[in-house]
Amino acid sequence: MKVHITNVSGLAGAAGNAQQRVTDIARRYLYVNVLGIFHYPVESDTPEMLRTRLDGILAAISHGDTVIFQLPTWNDIKFDEAFAARLGNYRGVKKIFFVHDVPPLMFENTLGWLGRYIDLYNLADVLIVPSREMEEYLRSNGLKVPKIVVQRMWDFPVEIDQTIVPCFRKRINFAANVTSNYRPFVREWNHDRVELAVTANPGDYEWAKGRNIRFLGWHNNDNLLADALRKSGGFGLLWQDCPWWKEYMKLNASYKRSACLAAGLPIIVSSSTAETEMILRKNLGLVVDSLDEAVDRVASMEEGQYRKMVEDVGKFAQLIQGGYFTKKLLIDSVFRLLYD
């Protein structure tokens, strides 16, 4: 039996990085064969062109093989459905669907598409979901796949300078594009006791004037981002103003959460987000109900308490830096498929 994994090339941003990371770990450590999919507008294909394209992608598949399908491809659900259907025509092939994101839950006014996505997921023999909360939500909306593996955390394999230890500072770091994307809490930051550090190049921003805001620079490279966060010290923040996205954060696995932890920073998350129990149990940061509470707790924190968090985060970060969450979930998925 061979194990294959899909990988979408030409897909930019965090979605593309996530697929590539999973693929790199699967190929390097688990000797999985890669099925390349190009990111393109599926509407440009006629039905015959699409069939030919899919047959080319699946040419290496043999009887009894296992295919890990990373979803979504962002080629539109029409492509994902066609791929799954074509895969189903191969006798004896077993299907593991790895759900990175659920598009109908990510965008406002798209919830009506959820049933179609769940129908797609129900074609899997094993389904990998971001969190237990996501599994429960999908099951309440018609998911019937009996074998589930929960991801819990993204890996963020970066090289860390262990001689640099995050400093105890009354500082909260927010890694996001705050110049192009409007973030109300950033623009309205009015906390003198705690500094907000954002990943943006220094500039004469009107919204930052007179506010306790520091600029860390913009980093497209993950190693540079992790290095900047580690040198900055303090805490990493996972936060959203958008009500729709806040709801999604209750269900998904956050890439930014892993970036901060991989850099060695304790994190601050909302009490409504997924995996808060693990964060508290492992002493990885603060779980709060509001930003005001976060500021108060950072402002009143003692250095010894922070140092213990940094120590505990450092141990946990080795899993994220080494790709161990991905290795484990892929191996667990094959075991769920063939052993359980």
Listing DSSP states for 82-141 in one string gives HHHHHHHTSTT-EEEEEES--HHHHSTT-GGGHHHHHHHHTT-SEEEES-HHHHHHHHHT
Residue 296 pLDDT > 90? yes
Of 78-82, 133-137, 176-180, the least confident: 176-180
Residue-range domains of the chain with CATH: 3-153+323-339 (3.40.50.2000), 171-322 (3.40.50.2000)
Model pLDDT, residue 109:
85
State the average pLDDT over residues 212-237. 96
Percent with pLDDT over 90 in the chain: 93
pLDDT at 153 over 90: yes
Task: Kindly state the average pLDDT of the residues 230-255.
Answer: 94
**Residues forming the annotated binding site for UDP?**
254-259
Checking if the pLDDT of 131 tops 90, the result is: yes
DSSP string covering 27-92: HHHH-PEEEEEE---GGGS-HHHHHHHHHHHTTT--TT-EEEEEE--SS-HHHHHHHHHHHHTSTT
- Which pLDDT belongs to residue 18? 94
Percentage of residues in the chain having pLDDT higher than 70: 100
Q: What is the mean pLDDT of residues 254-263?
A: 96
Average pLDDT of the segment spanning 75-91: 96
- Paired with 128 in beta bridges are 98, 149
pLDDT of 108 above 90: no
pLDDT at 340 over 90: no
Contact 14, 156 (CB under 8 A): no
Please report which confidence band the pLDDT of residue 13 belongs to, taking 50, 70 and 90 as the band edges: confident
What does the pLDDT read at residue 34? 98
User: Which of 160-164, 291-295, 305-309, 334-338 is predicted with the least confidence, judged by mean pLDDT?
Assistant: 160-164
Question: What pTM, to 2 d.p., does this model score?
Answer: 0.94
Predicted confidence (pLDDT) per residue in 25-53, tens digit: 999 999 999 999 999 999 999 999 999 99
Q: Does pLDDT of 243 surpass 90?
A: no
- Binding residue positions: 254-259
Q: Is the pLDDT of residue 12 over 90?
A: no
Closest CA to 4 of 58, 55, 53, 51: 58
pLDDT band with cut points at 50, 70 and 90 for residue 323: very high
pLDDT band, very low/low/confident/very high, at 180 (cuts 50, 70, 90): confident
| Mean pLDDT in residue range 275-301 | 97
State residue 242's pLDDT score. Answer: 86
Q: Is the peptide bond before 47 cis (omega within 30 degrees of 0)?
A: no
Give the chain's mean pLDDT: 96
Name the more confident of 76 and 243. 76
Q: What is the pLDDT of residue 154?
A: 97
Q: How confident is the model at residue 220 (pLDDT cuts 50, 70, 90)?
A: confident
Mean pLDDT of 84-110: 95
Distinct helix (H) and strand (E) counts, the chain: 14, 12
